[in-house]
Amino acid sequence: MSSPAGVIHDIGYQRYEGERLGRGDVFLALYTQSLRSVFGLGRNFKAKIFPWLVVSVVAIVGIVIMAIRAQTGEVVISYSMLPQVLGTLMVLFVAIAAPELVSRDLHSGVLPLYFSRPLRPADYALAKLAALVSAIVMVWGGGQVLVFIGAAFSVKGFTNVMNELGDAGLGVIYTALYAIVYGSIAVLVASLLKRRAVAAAAVVGTFLITAPIVGVFYILPSETAHQLAQLFNPASLVGGVGDWLFEPTSSSEELGIGPFGPLYAAVTLGLIALCVTLLIARYRKVSQS
Amino acid sequence: MSTVAWITTRGLLGRRRFLLLLPLPILMIGVALIPRFEGVSPQQWAQPVLVAMGFITLLPIVSLIVGTGVLGAEIDDGTITHILSKPLARWKIVVPKLLVAIGVTAASAAVPFYIVGVLASGPRLGVGLIVGSTVGAVLYSTIFVALSLISRRPVLLGLVYVIIWEGLLSNLVSGTRVLSVQQYALTIADKASASDLLSGNVSFPVAVVMSIVVTVGFLALAIRKLSSFSVTGETS
């Protein structure tokens, strides 16, 4: 230790005598605050318009599916199809929410304040990611729960309700997979860019530009190329995992994934691990500069 | 080159931010190389690469980043007041900024479009695509520059417009094609290249007239909005 260069004078502020909360509590506080800000809670009206518009679109779709099912008994969109059907909306949602969560802090340079607390860089990154993932699960999973409520009242017999509950539960877990893949990509891209506007465009660009690659692979002559095509886009990648999990019969179809189901699952897990690792590495670097 | 244009160019390309414009064109060329060397006929792969990747994604996204960057960035952090307080007519601020946006967008779109066009059929298609993508760059840039003056959150509106209107509706609903920048650019590229690989969905005169109407309309709107621009505090 070198000799002190200055003195901190006691100018008479009241001391804090209470208990100092630790890392876990900081994490929880940051998570809660982030989750609230995704929906614009605690912020002005303008910040609420977009997230609640998305919530209402998902809710309306859920209610329409519910109504059709109650009236005609026909399952228009199954639980596991719902996140896929509303996938474009999910891209828009993460593109707006992720920069809101991470780019603002980078832009206004408040990160040193966070890291002067017991919070570690990885904690910050994971709290933000967890908030976005939970928000997606709440909105899209909420839509699935709406459909389930309608179905539970229209099917007869306790076992049927239990079957329905099982399907809905799997559907929500599948939504969570979507949420983790979309969320980790979006937060990673957004954490690299300070300006919210640019970050939002970059997130959408990432999702949109990879879609035609799938189309290009479909026109290659080889059968294997068709079955591997869906690996190249986040949306179709998770869709492929869904095909493997929920519709093993469709594997013989033209757009199927063939025998590569486990590969799709492995690539999905690898993608998530890669994004999270890069995200944590990014904040390690930010915290040192 | 006016000082406004010079400052804008430096603001756009001066820092590392311009690296953001590189991945999309590189990816487009890379994807075109795969079927090219697999020996698939261009009839099959030109459509997904040129239309889905080029006209639906690359052109609007690059225009959005650049177009909202030339004015929107300054409005965002409040430094727009420095330019507004100079004795300059407002149109002399909007027009150079718009020209810079168009130039940067057109340049970063023209290169991949030309290379992919040459790979698919030959220089004629490449030149046609440059014409088409430049028309697209003019239209999109004008719209997004105007948008960044109309709204405080231009990127949100721009993304909704690009994804929902240009991406989904103009491909599914035939009625909205008459009001779609992507279809104008495609039709003009088709006409300029005289290639059977592209097919425009609107007639050529409609595309030309609507392009002029949209450009002039949004330019006038942008100038009018900046003329009556009021500096407000940070909102959200």
For residue range B170-211, what is the model confidence (pLDDT) as tens digits? 667 777 777 888 889 889 988 888 877 777 778 889 899 999
A116-130, A166-180, B69-83, B85-99, range with the lowest pLDDT? B69-83
**How is residue A136 written in tokens?**
């997606």
Q: Which residues of B touch A (CB under 8 A)?
A: 17, 20, 23-24, 27-28, 31, 34-35, 38, 40, 44-45, 48-49, 52-53, 56-58, 61, 64-65, 68-69, 72-73, 76, 152-156, 158-160, 162-164, 167-168, 235-236
Closest in B20, B48, B58 to A198, CB measured: B20
For residue range A200-259, what is the model confidence (pLDDT) as tens digits? 988 988 888 888 788 778 777 777 777 888 888 888 888 888 888 876 555 445 456 777
ipTM greater than 0.90: no
In a domain, B23, yes or no: yes
Residue A99's pLDDT is 93
Q: Do residue A95 and residue B159 have CB atoms under 8 angstroms apart? A: yes
* Chain A contact set for B68 (CB, 8 A): 197, 201
In a domain, B235, yes or no: no
The more confidently predicted of residues B119 and A184 is A184
Residue B236's pLDDT is 43
For residue B52, which of B160, B166, B136 has the smallest C-alpha distance? B166
Residue A37's pLDDT is 93
In a domain, B233, yes or no: no
Residue-by-residue DSSP string for A216-252: HHHTSS-HHHHHHGGGGSHHHHHHHHHHHHH-GGGGG
Residue A2's pLDDT is 60
B101 has a pLDDT exceeding 60: yes
In a domain, B236, yes or no: no
Residue A251's pLDDT is 46
A284-288, B219-223, B232-236, range with the lowest pLDDT? B232-236
In a domain, B232, yes or no: no
Residue A74's pLDDT is 77
Closest chain A residue to B27, measured at CA: A209
Q: Residue B121 belongs to what domain range? A: 3-227
**Residue A201 in contact with residue A159, Cβ under 8 Å?**
no
* Chain A contact set for B27 (CB, 8 A): 209, 213
Residue B54's pLDDT is 86
Please state, rounded to an integer, the average pLDDT across all residues of chain A. Answer: 87
Closest chain A residue to B235, measured at CA: A44
**What is the distance between the alpha carbons of residues A140 and B102, in angstroms, rounded to a whole number?**
39
For residue range A4-36, what is the model confidence (pLDDT) as tens digits? 678 888 888 888 888 888 899 999 999 999 999
For residue A186, which of A106, A101, A108, A123 has the smallest C-alpha distance? A101
For residue B70, which of B124, B148, B125, B132 has the smallest C-alpha distance? B148
> Which residue of A209, A231, A232, A233 is the best one to mutate when testing the B interface, meaning the one whose CB has the most B CBs within 10 A?
A209
- Any CB–CB contact under 8 A between A91 and chain B? yes
In a domain, B34, yes or no: yes
Domain count, chain B: 1
Q: Do residue A88 and residue B65 have CB atoms under 8 angstroms apart? A: no
Q: Do residue A202 and residue B68 have CB atoms under 8 angstroms apart? A: no
* Chain A contact set for B20 (CB, 8 A): 193, 198, 202
**What is the distance between the alpha carbons of residues A53 and A11, in angstroms, rounded to a whole number?**
51
Residue B36's pLDDT is 79
Amino acid at A120: R
Segment B152-160 shows an average pLDDT of 86
The more confidently predicted of residues A260 and A185 is A185
Residue B135's pLDDT is 94
Segment B106-127 shows an average pLDDT of 89
**What is the distance between the alpha carbons of residues A276 and A254, in angstroms, rounded to a whole number?**
34
- Angstroms from B123 CA to nearest CA on chain A: 22
Closest in A92, A201, A216 to B64, CB measured: A201
B233 has a pLDDT exceeding 90: no
